[in-house]
Each structure stands twice: as structure tokens, then as C-alpha cells.
Structure 1
Amino acid sequence: MTLAKLFSLIQYPLPHHLLSRLVGGLADCRLPWLKNALIKAFIRQFKVDMDEAAEPDPTAYASFNDFFTRALEEDARPIGEGLIAPADGTLSQFGAIEAGQLLQAKGHRFSMMELLGGDGEAARRYLGGSFATVYLSPSNYHRVHMPLSGTLREMVYVPGRLFSVNAATTRHVPNLFARNERLVCHFDTEQGPMAVVLVGAMIVAAIETVWAGQITPLPRGDVQRIRFDKPIRLEKGEEMGRFKLGSTVVMALAESVSFHDDERVPGDMVLMGQSLGSL
């Protein structure tokens, strides 16, 4: 048995949400000596480049979470043409949505309907469409931005487990992104419907959006839908949310995307704003 397989197996019995809430409490701590020690240790361990941060002084942040979700300097991430990467991270998979299925990893596919919280009507909009998945490691910039301009139509909270979403777990836990806690954001764009799914993970303390603040964790364990009567318009490259500790973004479009296959392969590192393909 490989270490990756063993790492995946030992996660099943763990109290995912309890561990995540405990870490979240520590990350929100505002004791200067403790939060400064955590931030400096994290910068050393993951070689975080603070030169591109809007606030480069690690001790200026009120908590570890404030540091972790730090803003970048203006124009640090130029916005490319077509569909752009919504976040810094690893472009783990991308391509066509085939028969309502998305590729998770070699030998593993998962259902678009399950990803969207069991909404078959919404999933049918994406038949023949395209998807891309970006994994945010601890060292990455952790704000999520719009891959295309769009108007928010509905937000859906889907409860679930909190498995790690790193490469090892992705290869060994079936339906990973459709079983973890997640926030599904449905947008109308000039290119048709677009879903941006913020997937929770082990020790991810919370998911926030710019229009509703902190969304997860929620006390109720059932699917919750919120529709927006007043239009919320976000332009391409504009911030839409953030993770308090790392996770994954899955985006799906009803239209086919011509990905830059000659430039991109699964596993490539991308920066927010880099062009992934044209529509």
C-alpha cells in the first residue's frame, strides 16, 4: 500500500468538522505573540512571497486568517483573454463535461448533478460544456476571482465531509468534490450559465463571499438555496470569495471552451488571471 493510499484511508474515520473548527479557532486568535509566531512559521515553511502582498509586514495582520486571505498589490495579477484562472494554484484537471461527468483524476469521474447538490435541472445546462479545477495549496494566494463576467443568480450551500483535496486524496477518494462540503455559485454570463463551486476541505475554517460574508460553517446539515432578486454583477477578475485555509475551485460552463492544450497540461501551476482558453 502506498503512502498516498494510506493517507487517504486514515481520513475516513476522522472527525473532519471538529478538527477544522479547532484549527479555525486557532487561526482567528488575535494574541499578538501567538498569531505572529504562526504567521512567521508559515512564511518560512511555505516560502511565501510577501513582496507581492498589499501589506508586506507579517506582524500587521490582526490574525493568521487575515494574513492567509491577504490582498495582493494592485495589478499583481494581470487579467488575460477568454476564460481565466479564478485563483492561484494547480490546474489539476480541465476539459469537456462528458455524459454529465467531470474528470477528478485518472480512473475517477464524478457527477455534475452530485457536484451541484443533486440538482438535475441545473446539471443538464452543462451537458456538452466544459470544466476546469484549480487546487489551492497552503502557499497560494487564497482569494477567488471571477473567471468571466457574470450576474449571480443563486447560491447553494451543500453539506458534506471535509476530506483533504490534495493530489494524493484526489487520486484515491471517489467523488471527492461531490462529497465534501461546498458552496455552489450560479452565474449568468454572456457565454451562458456558469457554476463556480468553492469546495471545502480538511482544516478549511470557512468559505466567504463578497456579497454575503462568511457562509460556512453552517449549523444546519441540509442543502440551503438562496436566490437573488436584486442583481449582483461581478466583472471578470473581480474578487468573489476566499478560503480560510486552502481548498479547490471547480468551475463549469455550458459552452465549450477551447483550452490552451498546447500550453497547459493537468498539474500546471497557474496564477489568477492567466488565460485558460477561449470561448
Structure 2
Amino acid sequence: MATALHMLSQHEQLNFLLTNRIPRRQLTRFMGWYSRIESRRLTRASLRLWRLFAADLNLDEAEHRDFLSLHDCFTRRLKPGARTIDARANVVVSPCDAIVGECGTIQGTRVFQAKGFPYEIGELIPDAGLQQRYRDGCYVTLRLKSSMYHRFHAPVDCSVDQITYISGDTWNVNPVALKRIEKLYCRNERAVVALTQPVASGSICLVPVAAVLVASMKFHCLPDDLNLQYRGPNRIACSARYKKGEEMGYFQHGSTIIVFATSNYRLAEGLGQGQAIRMGQALLTDTATTSD
């Protein structure tokens, strides 16, 4: 038992060093360039190498599998009907395929990235109004592994009139780093997407967080990618309407989305840390709205 724990500790140490004690921004820029090289032969070779580190990579649900580039694979669409959207009116669905990380009730304005590693909402979201809106609400951290489907979707019927982009670092957001780097999410590149719902007793906010090898988010309602090369305004006006389950954008590789909700919401029954969840499955329930 002691030997197994020692080996696990060594593995975590190596993982942390390989993914964080490196020139993160330079490597991320290189990966962005490399992933867009259009060569089916190079892509097939890259996928074989990728599978050595992501044995759970499953492309059976992909709309097509003849990828011209790694970027084409990372941002793959799924076959029609591959995901079922929970249509109940009082349900907020997961915006992405993910592993559930820390989740639960917000303690005033304090949230946890990992046990013993708290941060304040205001350190993640630079908007005083939003900070107070989610006081004593609830949150769910959704980690997209590199092997997962990377597109994200509207968790409710909603509209978006502004996206706030916050430039930052590109730390890995895997569990090893989350247990070692304080306020990691607050350090990384991220976007704040407040959702306006036509009929609701509360509100939802999505905070997609970029990471090493990623640091690039594409929102369909914006003309430019949000990445390390972006030099535009931090507050970007837009005008977009979505039905629950409709695609909003994608990550280039895999990362994290933190979902914030007001105090009328609760975690969906059975939802817990470490659980795998698919886009469209119940994430939160509105206690002030009845189900249809």
C-alpha cells in the first residue's frame, strides 16, 4: 500500500513538472500552430501518439473521422442525436461533456477549486454586480479532458449580450495542479458569460477557463477567437440567442467551465465530484420552478 502511494505521488510530481514547469505560453502557441497543420498522414500519426496518453479517446461518435488536422479532431462535431437534452423547464443541463470537479454551495462569495484551496468570486469575475448576484448560490466545476468532446452548449434557453475576456496564464487545470497552485483558475485565461433567461427566477453564469496547450476559445457570436494573440477589448458586445442545448462555441483542446447559479438552484440529484457527465444531462434544478 505504501509503495503504491509512493508511486502515485511520484507520478503526480512528474505530471506536474511536465505540464507546468515548462515555457507554458510558448508551448501553447506552438501547439496552436501544430494542430492546424493540414496533413492526414501527420494527423493520423499524431492521434496514435495522443492515444498513448489518452487511452479513453473515443471517436465513434464523431460526425466524421477523416480528420485533416489535429484541430479538426479536437473541435469535432458529434453525430446527430449523440446527446439527449433534458427538456424539463426547471433543469439546467451540463453545457459540455466533463468530469465534475468541486461543486456545491457558495459560502458567501467563497468557492473552492480543490480541498483547502478557496478563492473569491471577485478574483475570478471582475464584475461587482455578478459577484454579489451569486452570493450564497451554488457552483459546479466541469473539467473537459483532452480526449473529450470539446464543444460547449447553452445550458438553458438564454441570450448573451456581452462576453468579458480576461487575459492570463496557461497553467494546466488537471487535479494535480489544482491541489498545488492556489487560485489557479483566477490566474488563467478565461471568459465570463452571463446568461439572460427569458423566464427564470434566478440566473446562470458560465466561466470557461483556458489551460496549457489550449488558451483558445471560440464563441460563435464573436468574430475573433479569444486566445493569446487576441488584442481586442476585454468587454465584447454581442447579440446571440440560444435554445437549451444549442452550440455556443468550443475549446481548441480541452479545459474547464465553471457554472455559477443563484441561490434558488440546487445540484441535480446524484451529482457529485468525480462523476462523468455528458452535455445535455441534468446539472442543476431550479427549486422555484416546477418541472413540465
Taking structure 1 as the reference length, what is the TM-score of the superposition?
0.89
> What is the one-letter code of the residue matched to 1:75?
G
8 Å contact kept, 1:113–1:119: yes
Q: Does 1:62 align with 2:68?
A: yes
**1:86 paired residue number:** 95
> Residue 226 of structure 2 aligns to which amino acid in structure 1?
I
The equivalent of 1:115 in structure 2 is: 124
* 1:226 maps to which of 236, 256, 265: 236
The Cα shift of 1:51 comes to: 2.1
* Correspondence list, 1:130-145, <5 A: 130-145=138-153
Three-state SS of the structure 1 residue aligned to 2:212 is coil
Aligned residues: 271
- Counterpart position of 1:38: 46
C-alpha distance in 2, partners of 1:52/1:7? 29
Tell me the alpha carbon deviations over residues 73-114 of structure 1, each in whole angstroms, 9 at most, x when there is no partner.
Answer: 111110124011111110112212211111211111111111
Letter of the structure 2 residue corresponding to residue 130 of structure 1: C
Instruction: Using the TM superposition, name which of 33-42 and 71-80 deviates more.
Output: 33-42
Q: 2:228 aligns with which of 212, 217, 238?
A: 217
SS at match of 2:203: strand
CA distance change for structure 1 residues 146 and 157 in 2, over 3 Å: closer, same or farther? same
The letter for the 2-side match of 1:212 is: L
1:177 maps to 2:170: no
Mark the runs of 5 or more structure 1 residues left unpaired by the alignment: none
Deviation at 1:277, TM superposition (A): 2.7
Among 258, 261, 282, the alignment partner of 1:275 is: 282
Higher normalized strand content (fraction of residues) = 1
Q: Do the aligned partners of 2:106 and 2:136 also contact (CA within 8 Å) in 1?
A: yes
Instruction: Tell me the residue number matched to 2:272.
Output: 265
CA change 1:35–1:11 in 2 (3 A) is: closer
Secondary structure at the residue paired with 1:28? coil
TM-score (norm 2): 0.85
Gaps of 5+ in 2: 1-5, 287-292
Q: Deviations over 1:153-191 (max 9, x none)?
A: 210110111110011111121111111111111211233
The answer (yes or no) to whether the contact 1:160–1:179 under 8 Å persists in 2 is yes
- Percent identity over the alignment is 28
CA gap of 1:66–1:110, structure 2 versus 1, over 3 A, is same
Amino acid at match of 1:133: T
Q: Is the contact made by 2:266 and 2:285 (CA closer than 8 Å) also made in structure 1?
A: yes
Following the alignment from structure 2 to structure 1, what is the Cα–Cα distance between the partners of residues 43 and 57? 16
Task: State the AA in 2 paired with 1:267.
Answer: G
- 2:23 aligns to what? 15
Match of residue 194, structure 1, among 201, 204, 224: 204
Deviation at 1:276, TM superposition (A): 1.8
**Counterpart Cα distance in 2 of 1:154 and 1:121:** 14
Deviations along 1:130-154, whole A, 9 cap, x unmatched? 2111001111111111111211021
